[in-house]
Amino acid sequence: MNAEVKTSYRACHLCEAICGLEIKTQGEQVLSIKGDKNDPLSRGHICAKASALQDFHFDPDRLKHPVKRVGDKWERISWDEAYKTVAENLVSVQAKSGVNAVAFYAGNPNVHNYGSLTHGSILRKLLKTKNNFSATSLDQLPHHLVSYSMYGHQSMLPIPDIDRTQYMLVIGANPLASNGSIMTVPDVTKRLKAIQKRGGRFVVIDPRKTETADIADTHHFIRPGSDAFLLMAMIHTLFAENLVNTGHLGDLLEGLDDVENTAVGFTPELAEQQTGIKAEDIRQMARDMAQTEGAVCYGRMGVSTQAFGTLCQWAIQIINILSNSLDVHGGAMVTAPAFGFVKPGENGAGHFARWHSRVSAQPEFSGEFPSSVLAEEILTEGEGQIRALITMAGNPVLSAPNGRSMDSALSDLDFMVSVDLYINETTRHANIILPPTGALEHDHYDLAFHRLAVHNTTRYNAPLFKAQEDTRHDWQILNGLGQEIADLKKVDFKPSPSPDKLIDMGIQGGVYGEAAGHELALTLDKIKEHPHGLDLGPLEPSLTKRLCTSSGRIELMADYIEPDITRLRNTDAKPTEGELLLIGRRHVRSNNSWMHNYQRLVKGKPRWQLLMHPKDLADRKLEDNAQVTIQSRVGEVSTTVCASHDVMQGVVSLPHGWGHKREGVQMNIAAQQEGVSCNDLTDDKYIDEVSGNAAFNGVPVKIFAA
């Protein structure tokens, strides 16, 4: 007899858009995956990756049980043996070489997995190492640092009110491919087009004419890494043309005069030389920001992962503040989530530069060092050298700058354990891999992205399938390892309750809970009664009541701003003769380094080539489709070049996350894909000098026939 057809609703966890899905199953079979039309946030939208959730679930390459590396073979071992071996090795490395000899690297999918978030601190608390790293410093660290300095909390991140804005300036983001970031915005195409339909405009600043730029009212090419000149020139214009209007924030601003001083000399004419955008266009963007009611400036990866990443994110906040675009409808506002509502006294505000890394003295942020120094901390001998590593849901060999040095660093360790689903470029170096269950086998509540969404909603996602026998969820692995380490160290340990219990407490104690006197009196059980999610209303101004700074004011000028302004004044963003500037690229059918093992997503036209302007090809006497060698300070790779008018002259674009053809990678389909790793070229010494965040964009390279 055939099993019954079952319809389930859950959010997709693959990217920040958290689209609601309607999934039909019959027994163990997936019949269809569609958009959930009744999800109040995503309204039925999905992308091509949603269907691949089933490929991931059924992938024969996905690990289900712990494995141990013996020579170049992997052997299945029991969970007990795995926990024991891992704990013994970590504890003995610390006993021999000090607590900091064990390092921890947490990758991006942790943020998409609530059990990893609720239980993530278990190992850190027990191991007490200062060598913590994560994908944050390959990405959005400047956003957190700026929010921490200005608003007093690293998670006080103003989000564009895309559904009400009349003018949106998008800098270094390509939401049509990424589906939005630090702006949870499913169905972004419709929402951007809606701006135009209601008579508004949106403008894109990007060295490539992206999918997003294609539908924008205006697109300006910009020389990679030069955005700080553009943004400072906009600030300059706002003051020079008397356009500053700080609205209801006026009384709360600390250091406004100093901001004006920083902008002295950053004329639109200087910015034109540096960025390639006409001075008059720069002035007009400043005027549009100031003169449009409900305007917002939004900048993401492209401006965060560059040499002035922090200064750019700071300047974006300043532009919003000066143009009456912060904490107003149509501008940028902070969200009101059911869990993790940021307010004074809230945990995890952050701290910065309290200590520094051993080898190159990079600052910690909230207890983490920038991942750009992980390899050197392993490879450089001396007291405090890292000898053992835990990776959890991360692939730094493909995702960190100078991936080849990361690769050799990992093979140099005394011990490595990975909590991961695959044997990939990074985890092949592990001694033990502990695989968690897949997303469809556990429940989920989105801890991170309701907090960053353009509209307040909440939803609980039940598991679709029962976890297979003898498998463990990420949070159970963390509890299991924690217990074993605690036993060896002879310290007290109480396993953390399941994530749903922790979330329920947070929701009940949150702003929609009974404790706060809210009429909804939300509990997790009440949220469960709404399988499509629950609408909690649009974003509303609230920042003034929620500032977490000790002064209770908006601190416009952190200590690090002035020195960085001086650095900018002494910078020339133009490349030297013969060099091109390398940038990255995302595609909607890919997701960082780990979704190339599903035929459905990799089929069709290859998407890993180097894009280059025809004029730059001609200058080098190269043909379209030729095999070229790309050389940077740290390495070289050879790949196919594709002529494209969509990249600015002087710029080349290569996506990250490829380069799977390496010995020992056990991802069958991925390993058949051509394409090299962009991070074999990016430079671990090329960083945002304030935060240490990786500067993936604007890396100088030379290109010639292979």
Ligand X SMILES: Nc1nc2c(c(=O)[nH]1)N[C@H]1C(S)=C(S)[C@@H](COP(=O)(O)OP(=O)(O)OC[C@H]3O[C@@H](n4cnc5c(=O)[nH]c(N)nc54)[C@H](O)[C@@H]3O)O[C@H]1N2
Binding positions for ligand SF4, rule: CB under 6 A? 12, 14-15, 17-19, 46-47, 49-50, 179, 186
Percent helix / strand / coil, the chain, rounded to 5: 35, 20, 45
Interface pick for ligand X out of 200, 207, 350, 659 (rule CB under 6 A):
207
CA 429 to CA 413: how far, in whole Å? 9
Shorter beta-carbon distance to ligand X: residue 152 or 160: 160
Interface pick for ligand X out of 405, 456, 593, 644 (rule CB under 6 A):
593
Closest distance to ligand SF4 from the beta carbon of 143 (Å): 20
Closest distance to ligand X from the beta carbon of 360 (Å): 20
Question: Is residue 313 a contact residue for ligand X (CB under 6 A)?
Answer: no
Question: Is residue 179 a contact residue for ligand X (CB under 6 A)?
Answer: yes
End-to-end CA distance of the chain: 60
12 binds, options Mo ion, ligand SF4, ligand X, none, Cβ within 5 to 8 A by partner type: ligand SF4
Question: Is residue 16 a contact residue for Mo ion (CB under 5 A)?
Answer: no
Q: Where are the alpha helices (DSSP H) in 324-450?
A: 374-379, 396-399, 403-410
Shorter beta-carbon distance to ligand SF4: residue 179 or 399: 179
Closest distance to ligand SF4 from the beta carbon of 43 (Å): 11
Shorter beta-carbon distance to ligand SF4: residue 30 or 50: 50
Question: Is residue 210 a contact residue for ligand X (CB under 6 A)?
Answer: yes
The one segment of 73-81, 338-346, 421-429, 454-462 that binds ligand X by CB under 6 A: 421-429
Shorter beta-carbon distance to ligand SF4: residue 14 or 93: 14
Closest distance to ligand SF4 from the beta carbon of 55 (Å): 13
340 binds, options ligand SF4, Mo ion, ligand X, none, Cβ within 5 to 8 A by partner type: none
Residues in Cβ contact with 181 at an 8 Å cutoff, skipping those fewer than 6 apart: 16, 140, 173, 175, 300, 301
Interface pick for ligand X out of 225, 309, 363, 370 (rule CB under 6 A):
225
Question: Is residue 115 a contact residue for ligand X (CB under 6 A)?
Answer: no
Question: Is residue 139 a contact residue for ligand X (CB under 6 A)?
Answer: yes
CA 154 to CA 174: how far, in whole Å? 24
Q: Which residues pair with 102 in a beta bridge?
A: 388
Question: Is residue 139 a contact residue for Mo ion (CB under 5 A)?
Answer: yes
77 neighbors 66 (Cβ within 8 angstroms): yes
Whole-number Cα distances in Å, 436 to 46, 64, 116, 192, 658? 25, 7, 10, 37, 23
By CB under 6 A, what part of segment 81-100 binds ligand X?
none
Shorter beta-carbon distance to ligand X: residue 211 or 346: 211
Count of Cβ atoms closer than 10 Å to residue 515 Cβ: 10
Interface pick for ligand X out of 36, 327, 407, 474 (rule CB under 6 A):
474
Sketch the per residue contact string, 568 through 587, with ligand X: x for CB under 6 A, - otherwise.
---------------xx-xx
Count of Cβ atoms closer than 10 Å to residue 252 Cβ: 18
Closest distance to ligand X from the beta carbon of 274 (Å): 11
CA 364 to CA 370: how far, in whole Å? 7
Residues in Cβ contact with 445 at an 8 Å cutoff, skipping those fewer than 6 apart: 114, 339, 459, 460, 461, 499, 500, 503, 524, 527
At position 629, the amino acid (one-letter code) is: T
In terms of Cα–Cα distance, which of 143, 140, 163 is closest to 151?
Answer: 143
210 neighbors 172 (Cβ within 8 angstroms): no
By CB under 6 A, what part of segment 506-535 binds ligand X?
none
By CB under 6 A, what part of segment 660-679 binds ligand X?
678-679
19 binds, options ligand X, ligand SF4, Mo ion, none, Cβ within 5 to 8 A by partner type: ligand SF4
Interface pick for ligand X out of 25, 54, 108, 118 (rule CB under 6 A):
108
| Both structure tokens of 687 | 């960083």
Shorter beta-carbon distance to ligand X: residue 299 or 331: 299
Sketch the per residue contact string, 5 through 24, with ligand X: x for CB under 6 A, - otherwise.
----------xx--------
CA 371 to CA 391: how far, in whole Å? 12
Q: What is the dihedral of CA 80, 86, 92, 98, to 10 degrees?
A: -140
18 binds, options ligand SF4, ligand X, Mo ion, none, Cβ within 5 to 8 A by partner type: ligand SF4
Closest distance to ligand X from the beta carbon of 228 (Å): 10
Question: Is residue 472 a contact residue for ligand X (CB under 6 A)?
Answer: no
Residue least distant from ligand X (Cβ): 302
In terms of Cα–Cα distance, which of 584, 642, 698 is closest to 174?
Answer: 584
185 neighbors 163 (Cβ within 8 angstroms): no
For 77: left if phi > 0, alpha if psi spans -120 to 50, otherwise beta; the answer is: beta
Give the H/E segment covering residue 488: helix 474-489
Whole-number Cα distances in Å, 610 to 101, 134, 212, 517, 654? 39, 27, 20, 56, 5
The three-point CA angle 207-209-213 to 5° equals 110
Shorter beta-carbon distance to ligand SF4: residue 17 or 610: 17
Interface pick for ligand X out of 222, 228, 234, 277 (rule CB under 6 A):
222
Closest distance to ligand SF4 from the beta carbon of 655 (Å): 16
607 neighbors 197 (Cβ within 8 angstroms): no
Question: Is residue 310 a contact residue for ligand X (CB under 6 A)?
Answer: no
The one segment of 239-247, 297-305, 493-501, 606-614 that binds ligand X by CB under 6 A: 297-305
316 neighbors 299 (Cβ within 8 angstroms): yes
431 binds, options ligand X, ligand SF4, Mo ion, none, Cβ within 5 to 8 A by partner type: none
Question: Is residue 436 a contact residue for ligand X (CB under 6 A)?
Answer: yes
| Both structure tokens of 255 | 């250091």
Chain position carrying tokens 């006080």 = 156
Interface pick for ligand X out of 141, 169, 205, 630 (rule CB under 6 A):
205
16 neighbors 180 (Cβ within 8 angstroms): yes
546 binds, options ligand X, Mo ion, ligand SF4, none, Cβ within 5 to 8 A by partner type: none
374 neighbors 348 (Cβ within 8 angstroms): no
CA 630 to CA 706: how far, in whole Å? 9
- Interface residues with Mo ion (CB under 5 A) are 139
- Interface residues with ligand X (CB under 6 A) are 15-16, 107-109, 113, 135, 138-139, 171-175, 177-179, 181, 205-208, 210, 222, 224-225, 227, 300-303, 306, 392-396, 399, 419-422, 424, 436, 474, 583-584, 586-588, 590-594, 656-657, 678-679, 682, 696-698
